[in-house]
Structure 1
Amino acid sequence: MTEELFFTVGQEALLVVLKIALPVLGVALLVGILVSIFQAVTQIHELTLTFVPKILAVIVIGVLLGPWMVRTLLDFARELFWNLPLLFR
Structure 2
Amino acid sequence: MNAMNIGDIFSEALFIVVLMVSVIIVPSLLVGLIVATFQAATQINEQTLSFLPRLLVTLLMMLVSGPYLIGKLVDYVNNIFLNIPLMIG
Q: Shared fold by TM > 0.5?
A: yes
Partner of 2:26: 26
Q: CA RMSD in A?
A: 1.0
Aligned length: 89
Q: Which residue of 2 aligns with 1:58?
A: 58
Match of 1:87 in 2: 87
CA distance in 1: counterparts of 2:87 and 2:50, whole angstroms: 46
Unaligned runs of 5+ in 2: none
Counterparts of 1:3 and 1:64 in 2: how far apart (Å)?
37
In structure 1, the partner of 2:7 is: 7
Q: Which residue of 2 aligns with 1:73?
A: 73
Long gaps (5+) in structure 1: none
Normalised to the residue count of structure 2, the TM-score between the two structures is 0.92
Output the amino acid matched with 1:15: F
Q: Distance in 1 between matches of 2:61 and 2:86?
A: 37
| Shift >4 Å, 4+ stretches | none
Q: What SS does structure 1 have at the residue aligned with 2:62? A: helix
